[in-house]
């Protein structure tokens, strides 16, 4: 797993373009972040909005990335 992410402190933030951050009016407390490889839900409280990007904690991104990698490995075993 060490090769999947850089060695940044857990207080670091990962940024996403606003076009990747979706909000549903039926669920106002949750954002959906959808990229080419990842698609996940995150509580609105964990997202910081900037002028052009949304930022999420690195620890949340790491857990989503690990889950995605494990799901992929289970679906496509060696």
Output the CA angle 52-49-11, nearest 5 degrees.
Answer: 110
Q: How far apart are CA 2 and CA 17, in angstroms?
A: 25
Q: How confident is the model at residue 42, as a pLDDT?
A: 93
pLDDT(6) > 70:
no
Task: Report domain extents, the chain.
Answer: 2-75
pLDDT, one tens digit per residue, over 11-65 is 788 999 999 999 988 989 999 999 998 999 999 999 999 999 999 998 899 899 9
Number of H helices, E strands in the chain: 1, 6
Q: How far apart are CA 70 and CA 9, in angstroms?
A: 23
């Amino acid at each position: 797993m060490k090769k999947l992410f850089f060695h940044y402190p857990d207080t670091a933030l990962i940024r996403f373009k606003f076009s990747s951050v979706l909000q549903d009016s039926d669920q106002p407390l949750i954002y959906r972040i959808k990229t080419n490889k990842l698609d996940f839900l995150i509580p609105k409280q964990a997202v910081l909005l900037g002028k052009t990007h949304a930022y999420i904690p690195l620890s949340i991104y790491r857990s989503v990335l690990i889950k995605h990698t494990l799901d992929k490995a289970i679906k496509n075993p060696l």
